Amino acid sequence: MMKYNPSHIYYMITIQCNQKCTKCSHWKQKDKADRLPIEKIVQAIKSISTAKEFCIVGGEPALFKTEIYDIINGISDMSIRTAIITNGVLADKDFIDKIANFNIHIVFSIDTLNKEFWKFVRGTNSYNVVFRNFEYATDALSSDKISIQSVLSKETEPYISEVADYAKRKNLYHSIQDYVSDGFNGSWTEKTDKQIVISDNGQQCFSVDRNLSIMQNGDVFTCFQQSWIDGCQKPLGNLNTQEMSKILSFDYALYISKKMKTCNLPCKVLKCNMK
Ligand SMILES: C[S@@+](CC[C@H](N)C(=O)[O-])C[C@H]1O[C@@H](n2cnc3c(N)ncnc32)[C@H](O)[C@@H]1O
Ligand code: SF4
Ligand code: SF4
Q: 100-126, pLDDT tens digit by residue?
A: 999 999 999 999 999 999 999 999 999
Higher-confidence position of 275 and 251: 251
Round to whole Å and give the CA distance between 24 and 194. 19
What is each CA distance from 229 to 168, 199, 210, 235, in whole angstroms? Answer: 38, 20, 17, 12
Strand order in the sheet with 81-86: 173-178, 146-152, 104-109, 81-86, 53-57, 8-12, 211-214, 219-221, 237-238
Entry pTM: 0.96
**Ligand 1 center to 110 CA (angstroms):** 10
Q: How far is the CA of 58 from the centre of ligand 1 (A)?
A: 8
Residue 2 in any domain: the answer is no
Please determine, for residue 205, whether its predicted confidence score (pLDDT) is greater than 70.
yes
Nearest residue (CA) to ligand 2, atom 6: 24
- The answer to whether residue 108 sits within a structural domain is yes
Residue 183 is part of which domain span?
Answer: 8-273
Q: What pLDDT, on a 0 to 100 scale, did the predictor assign at position 117?
A: 98
pLDDT for residue 234:
98
Nearest CA to ligand 3 atom 5: 260
User: d(Cα 268, Cα 261) in Å, to the nearest integer?
Assistant: 12
* Residue 206 domain flag: yes
Check which CATH number belongs to the domain holding 203 and give it.
3.20.20.70
From the CA of 24, how far away is ligand 1's center (Å)? 7
The answer to whether residue 41 is domain-embedded is yes
Per the structure, the count of domains in the chain is 1
Torsion of CA 189, 194, 199, 205, to 10 degrees: -60
Q: Is 27 close to ligand 2, i.e. is its CB under 6 Å away?
A: yes
pLDDT single digits (tens) 32-89: 999 999 999 999 999 999 999 999 999 999 999 999 999 999 999 999 999 999 999 9
Q: Are 7 and 206 in contact (CB under 8 A)?
A: no
Question: CA–CA distance from 208 to each of 153, 196, 200, 237, 238 (Å)?
Answer: 26, 17, 16, 18, 20
pLDDT digits (tens, 9 = 90+) for 23-45: 999 999 999 999 999 999 999 99
- pLDDT number for residue 259: 94
pLDDT band at 195; cut points 50, 70, 90: low
Name the pLDDT band for 272 (thresholds 50, 70, 90): confident
- Band (pLDDT 50/70/90 cuts) for residue 199 is low
- Please check the confidence at residue 196 and state whether its pLDDT lies above 70: no
Confidence of residue 201 (pLDDT cuts 50, 70, 90): low
Local confidence band at 269 (pLDDT 50, 70, 90 cut-offs):
confident
Q: Residue 189 Cα, ligand 3 centroid: separation in angstroms? A: 21
pLDDT for 197 equals: 64
Any atom of ligand 2 within 6 Å of the Cβ of 186: no
* Residues having CB within 6 Å of any atom of ligand 1: 17, 23-24, 26, 57-58, 60, 85-87, 109, 149, 151, 177, 179-180, 184, 186
Are 110 and 150 in contact, with CB atoms under 8 Å apart? Answer: yes
Does residue 68 fall inside a structural domain?
yes
Residue 3 maps to a domain:
no
Within-domain flag for 53? yes
Q: Is the CB of 24 under 6 A from ligand 2?
A: yes
**Continuous segment of H or E residues that includes residue 260:** helix 251-260
Residue 45 lies in a domain: yes
